[in-house]
Each structure stands twice: as structure tokens, then as C-alpha cells.
Structure 1
Amino acid sequence: MADEEFESIGKQPGLTVWRIENFKLIRIQKNRFGTFYSGDSYLVLNTRGSNSSNLEWDIHFWLGSGSTLDEMATAAIKAVELDDYLGGRPVQYREIQYFESKLFKSYFPNGIRYLQGGVASGFNSIEKLKHIKRLYMVKGKRDIRIIEVPFSGSSLNKSDVFIVEDANDIYEWCPPGSNRIERLKANTYAMQIRDDEYGGKSKIHLIEDDWDSHGQFWSFFDIKSDQVKENSDVEDKEFEQNFINENIQLYRVSDLKSKTPTVTKVASGPLKKSMLDSNDCFIVDCAENGIYTWIGRRCTKNEKISSILAAKELMIKNNYPNYIPMSQVIDCGETTTFKSLFTDWN
């Protein structure tokens, strides 16, 4: 039986976001889109198309760095249930905090905002927020993000923008080493915090020329400006990587010769489109660049399930980092990124 949350979604273009709470889906209000708690897991559905007759879907389950195993498992299970509810046609993506796909990040034009804590932290009235102080780092060159960091002078550096959230006052601290894009995004974030968290009542203070002498800002910290680190401990990461053909492996998942599907290595890159067969499922292993499962139109249910399990086993067997992307695509519904893995697929 389908989750009752699925009954009214996927019929019109747009975005739907749920948080996992006690094994259930709790829908997130639109004005909270792009804000994720590190202690939670989320399910995201993007419905695209010009009208109801040609809709397509992308399903993402987002796993916070502090999310429990139960929450992670529930998010993955709900993603499969949603996929089945929509006829097995959506493309599925697993998203790991800090390592989200480019597509996922595109849903949130104002960027992704990470908050510490979990479900219990997500319900704060304005009165409660008046007693909360938060420090955010705004960082990046192309993929700008806002990350809540420990409220301490040791978190500051002179190469990124920082925001102090102090109820009625929001401070944008822009040291000389921060870049223009970070400053623009920080201003957008500050206004979003003001409007979404405090009903537009907080005052935003822009700190640029007096970055090293602003009295109220430095009163929050136990260090002075000349003690702040020059550079961040965290490097700006570029997540777009070129796929290396020599590292690509193709596996077939088939139950043609036995009741139990078997996994067989078909080829090492470069790959050709003709290597795929609609009667079976395939796994494309691109090492740390990601793992794809390709679901043939005429595959069996056992092959589909086995391909997903086999992809996860490959991650464990090859000792891949937990953050590498895993995606599921369907026959005749391949993404441009997936097609680019094959030398003859335009």
C-alpha cells in the first residue's frame, strides 16, 4: 500500500520535500526548502514537464552526516516506494551531505543551508529563536554553501564570509580574503534568515571596511582580529570531475540462466551503448566518480532488486568512500551524464 503522502504529489511540475521522522514522511514547507539538519534524512521529489501528459520525475534521498541508520534506511525505502508509486519511471539519486549532486543543488537557487541537530531542533518559535546564537560559514567559488559551525573564534578565517545570527540582529562579516560571490550569497542568506526565521523583523549589519574593528561583532568572540586564521581549514571543493574511461567497469545482472540473478563483469571502459540489453539490468562502476544502475525495460523484478543490492556491495567490496554518488536510471530515460559514459552515445 502506497504511503498516503504520495497520493497528491507528482501530478504537477514542482518540488516536494519531506523529512524522515519516526519512520514517517513529514512534508516541509516551501519557505524552508534548502535548509537541512545534519542529524536528519530527507526525501525530495522533483516533478518536471510542461503538462500532466509528459511529466518526468527525479527522486533524491538526502542523508545528513549525523543521521541515524534507521532514518537513512527509511529514506532509502521511501525512495523505492515512491519510485514504484510513479510506475518505476523516475531516476533515483542518493545524496550525501556536503557531496550533493549538481542536479540536487540546482533545486535551491539560494544555496543549501546546513544546520546542526535533528528533528527536535527543527521546531523553534520566534520566542525560542531569540535565545539562540548561531555562526555560519559561507564558502565556495561556484557551489556556494552556508554551513553552521561551532560558535567560536577558532571557526573564523579571513578567506570566507561568516554570518552571526543573534535574534534581532544578523551580522555579515566579510574579511578581505573573501570573494565577491561569497559576499553576494551571504547577503541572500542573511535576508533569508531574517525573513524565514524572524518574520522580517531582524536587522542586517554588513561588516566590510570595519571587519577588524566592529565592536559588536568581536564582542561575540574571545579572540581579536589579528588572531584569526588567514585561510580556511576546509578547501573549496570542486565536485564536477571528469570520468576516466579506463576506470569504468560494466556489470550485467541477469536471471536468464538461473532463478537467482547473477552479476557478471561485461567490460572495462571505454563503453559502447550496444553493450546494454533491455532484457537485463546493468551496473556502471565509475569508482569514486559514482555508481549507476541501469534498469532495462524488460528486466524482471528480481533483476531490478539484485542490481541495487549489487551496486551497494560493490561500494563495500572496493572500499569506496561513503559519499560517492549512486544513481538509478531507466532504459530510454537516461540522463545526459549517464550517456556521456558511453563513447558512441550522443
Structure 2
Amino acid sequence: MAETPALRKHKKYDWKDSNLALFGSKLEHDLKKESAEHEPAWENAGKEVGLKIWRIVNFQVTDWPEVDYGKFYEGDSYIILDTYKKSGSEALYYDIHFWIGQYSTQDEYGTAAYKTVELATYLGGTPIQHREIQEHESKQFRKYFVSITYLKGGADSGFRTVKADEYTPRLLHFHGDRRGVTVKEIPRDKNKLDSTDVHILDLGLELYQWNGKSSNKDERVKAMQYIVDLKEQRCGKAVSEVLDEEFTEPSHKFFTYLDQVAEDDDDQSYDPKDTINELYRLSDESGSMFFSLEKTGSVTLKDFDGKDVFIFDTKTEVFVFIGKDTSADESKFAMTYAHTYLMKTDHPLVPISCILEQAVDAAFNFTAALAA
């Protein structure tokens, strides 16, 4: 088989490009409200309990097939709406997340961010809003899915195509433990095989599960379940084989498809210099906007004041608390200040949640962070 050239390197998500400075102006709010009322995608949004996902395509909000929930292309951006009820209440509550793939374009993730606020406006302005970055998602986001799969390219890549002569081979990497297994598409490079993990080579109608000699039970079981799902999606036409690293000959057909030469990936890992909680206050009580450190270490709900906006940084997640009696300017620019704050830290790739004081009891990730 002819050798495949190295994969083309795409521009990764640049968190400095989020353009959040546009958020919060009166003009932007008015445009958002007008747009929300005429956005076809929101027609049935938030009317029933459950999860709903949209993908951004050419500035448009498009439905994402339910069968593909949990699968995300690293070149795309998505909006995820979780509608739920609390025990003993018939009222509907909402969490809205916009998810940014590491190769999503500025236009795509800018539209996703804008449309997230637009959807929140459409649902009455009370939903909790979250920013999620590929491989740095919040615990709350991950709980929505049995597993999360990162796929290369965009949605047009045709993950569910079943015609063997049209299908692009993919190598999937399964890594994790009983707390969760992450699935990520990686280059089909034999040097990328990890003996401590499990891999699936997906050829469309042929599926190979390669078990590294030191892989764990959770990774192997997750891979087996994944193959069962793929077979079901492909109407039972696909066949599979399980390969154990120690007993698989180098001449096996599996290795003939691992002919890509992968370029080194940019390091987007995040290792904070410290893990101490920090609480900041945003206030204009003095007549001008003032941003100051309020407290470090243990933080409780009593440390928040309903008259101001607070940024609570746990170093693995950032929460924007908007007091119910904040001024219009404080409320409008809360997310912008959070973004500006992150630009000055060593940890940009963290989830952000924007929470109204009156919705705190529904912000489970926020209350959990306070209790930690």
C-alpha cells in the first residue's frame, strides 16, 4: 500500500480570539433578542426534558443527529442544551454549553458563543451558560454522555458512511479508567499505538480492536461496546476482530493501514502553578468599574454579594456569579471581564460557567466547587 503523506496541520483554537468584548452592549442584546425570535432552530428548544445538540455550519444552527450525541469533530463548534426539572417542581431549568473543537475556526466558535447567549435570551435569560473546550470539558458536561469521542475533520467527514470504497479509515484511541474512558481519533501512525491503552481501527465494514498489553478492563469493555454500536449503526454489515498486542503478528492486515506519518502536536496541556481558589469582585459602586481580589482559599456562598459580579477561579474551572441586584453595566460585561481575567492567567483552557444568583440552586457544578 502506498504511504500516506503526513497529515496537514490545522490552526488550533486560540482562546484570545473569542471576541467576547462584543458581548453585553445594548445593541448586541437587542439584536440577539430579535434574532432569537426568528431562529428556526429554537422553535422547540427547552420545551421538553432532555438533551439537545446543534452544530454550527456556515454561521447557521443545524440539528445534530441524536445517534451521534457524544461524538464531536475537532474542526467544529456545537451548542448543547440540557433541559431538566428539579425534584418536587414542574418548572423547567436549563444549562447551555457551547463546545469548541481544537481546530474550530474563529467564525464557528464566535457564532456558537453568540448563539448560546441568544438561546439563553430566548429561554427567558435564566439558563446557566458554559464555555467548553475540547479535552478540557467540565465534569457536568462529561456526565451527559456515556463516552465522548473526538473525531478529526468536520461533520462532512461521514463517520456513519458504510460504503467501504468511500469510507476514510480511522484509528480511535481509548484511554481512561472506571471513572471514564475518552475516545479520540488519532493519526493512523503505528508509532502512535500505546501499549497501555486500546485502539480501534475503523475501516467502515471491517473493525479491529487492538488491546495494548497493559490496557485495563475499562478500556477494553468500552471498546467492545463501541464496536457493538458501530455494527448497529451500519445495519449489521460490519465485521470485527479483536487483536491482543502480544499475540498479533507484525504482518497482520491491521498494520498495513497504519501508514500515516503524524506531525508533532502543539502542547495544550494545562498545569496550573497553584491550586488555590481565588474570588474576585467586579463592582461600579465607586462610580467607575473596579475589579479586585476579594478572597483566596476556602470560599462559601456567604462570600458572594447580590449587588455585584464575582469571578470564582478554582484553577480547573471558572464561575461568573451575577448578583440579582447588580448594575446593568456589571451584568452586561461579566463574561467579558471573565475572559479578560483569563487572558492574564496561565490557564486559558478551562470551562467557564456564567450563573445568575437566582439560579444558584440549579448550578450543581458551582455548589460542588464551593463545598470542595
Report if TM-score (shorter chain) is over 0.5.
yes
**Paired residues of 1:253 and 1:306 also in contact (CA < 8 A):** no
What is the CA distance between 1:98 and its match in structure 2?
1.0
What does 1:258-269 align with in structure 2 at a 5 Å threshold?
258=287, 261-269=289-297
1:68 and 2:105 aligned: yes
Which structure ranks higher in relative contact order (CA pairs < 8 Å, sequence separation ≥ 6)?
2
What is the CA distance between 1:200 and its match in structure 2?
2.6
**Paired residues of 2:171 and 2:186 also in contact (CA < 8 A):** yes
Unaligned runs of at least 5 residues, structure 1: 224-232
Structure 1 segments, 4+ long, off by >4 Å, are 122-125, 340-343
Amino acid at match of 2:143: S
**Paired residues of 2:207 and 2:239 also in contact (CA < 8 A):** yes
Mark the CA change 1:133 to 1:53 in structure 2 (over 3 Å): closer, same or farther. same
The aligned counterpart of 1:255 is 284
The aligned counterpart of 2:255 is 218
Amino acid at match of 2:157: S
**Paired residues of 2:77 and 2:109 also in contact (CA < 8 A):** yes
The correspondence for 1:131, drawn from 145, 164, 167, is: 167
Amino acid at match of 2:118: E
Tell me the SS of whatever aligns to 1:144.
Answer: strand
The aligned counterpart of 1:291 is 318
What does 1:298-337 align with in structure 2 at a 5 Å threshold?
298-318=325-345, 320-334=346-360, 335-337=363-365
Instruction: Name the TM-score, length of structure 2 as normaliser.
Output: 0.79
**Paired residues of 2:75 and 2:101 also in contact (CA < 8 A):** yes
1:174 and 2:202 aligned: no
String of CA shifts for 1:274-320, please: whole Å, max 9, x gaps: 3322222211123x3222100112323321221111111111112x3
Unaligned runs of at least 5 residues, structure 2: 1-33
The aligned counterpart of 2:131 is 94
The aligned counterpart of 2:14 is none
Deviates more, 1:46-55 or 1:74-83: 46-55
1:281 and 2:318 aligned: no
String of CA shifts for 1:122-169, please: whole Å, max 9, x gaps: 487433774321111111112201111111211112111110111221
The aligned counterpart of 1:148 is 185
1:9 and 2:36 aligned: no
String of CA shifts for 1:89-144, please: whole Å, max 9, x gaps: 211221111111111111111x1111101243248743377432111111111220
String of CA shifts for 1:38-88, please: whole Å, max 9, x gaps: 001111001111799321111111100101111111111111111122222
Q: Quote the RMSD (CA, aligned, Å).
A: 2.8
Deviates more, 1:198-207 or 1:57-66: 198-207
- Give, in whole Å, the separation in 1 of the partners of 2:280 and 2:348: 21
- Give, in whole Å, the separation in 2 of the partners of 1:285 and 1:209: 43
Mark the CA change 1:129 to 1:65 in structure 2 (over 3 Å): closer, same or farther. farther
Identity %: 33
Mark the CA change 1:281 to 1:317 in structure 2 (over 3 Å): closer, same or farther. same
Equivalent pairs counted in the alignment come to 323
1:189 and 2:226 aligned: yes
Amino acid at match of 2:281: R
**Paired residues of 1:61 and 1:95 also in contact (CA < 8 A):** yes
Tell me the SS of whatever aligns to 1:79.
Answer: helix
Instruction: Name the TM-score, length of structure 1 as normaliser.
Output: 0.84
- Give, in whole Å, the separation in 2 of the partners of 1:326 and 1:336: 14
